[in-house]
A = this chain, B = another copy of it.
Amino acid sequence: MEGKKTYRVFRFESDVRWTQTRECQISAPGKPELAMSSPPEFKGTPGLWSPEDMFVASVNVCTLMTFLAYSHHKNLALISYECSAEGTLEYSNGKYRFTEITLHPHLMLKSHEDVEPARAILLDAHNNCLITNSIVAQVKIFPDFHVAPPTG
């Protein structure tokens, strides 16, 4: 059995409760309740997160979290990371669905020597992001890397 990998199974639970019109609350034990709604394009309330927003954000956040985990293992020091994401929802193969999500991460690093390792770690994170692995939309990533000016 030497070298045999074991794989774990993880389960994630939450609840939704309809409140009014096109609004609801999501909840999970110990977590803050969050009001959500259809997007305004589908008669929802502006100013609330929609399931479409959360779908796109889950890809964005999971890519970051995977990058943070891999960076930790590789001892890469990160100064900042911000990423805008855009998801495209359109009619494709007989149904409306997300066909593409684009990510534009901006990373601030400590030195020029960190740029290529950071790029490799980010592409590895992108290729192993478990939400990206779970969707049919194509996820594209366009990172840019910056180096912080020396201090003191």
Encode contact with B along A7-40: 1 for CB under 8 Å, 0 otherwise.
1111111111110011010101011101011110
Residues of A that sit less than 8 Å from B by CB: 7-18, 21-22, 24, 26, 28, 30-32, 34, 36-39, 41-44, 46-62, 64-65, 68-69, 78, 80-91, 95-98, 128, 130-131, 133-137
Closest to A6 in B: B91
Residue among A32, A49, A82 with max Cβ neighbours from chain B (10 Å): A49
Given contacts A13-B84, A80-B18, contact A51 B65 (CB under 8 A): yes
How many copies of this protein are present in the complex? 2
Q: Give the interface SS of chain A, mostly helix, strand, loop or mixed.
A: mixed
User: What is the CA–CA distance of A46 and B87 in the complex, to the nearest angstrom?
Assistant: 28
User: In whole Å, how far is A130's beta carbon from the nearest beta carbon of chain B?
Assistant: 5
* Between-chain CB contacts (< 8 Å), 29 pairs: A8-B90, A8-B91, A9-B88, A10-B39, A10-B52, A11-B86, A11-B88, A12-B39, A12-B52, A12-B53, A12-B89, A15-B84, A16-B82, A16-B83, A17-B81, A18-B78, A18-B82, A31-B49, A43-B69, A51-B57, A52-B58, A54-B58, A54-B61, A55-B55, A55-B58, A89-B130, A95-B133, A96-B133, A97-B130
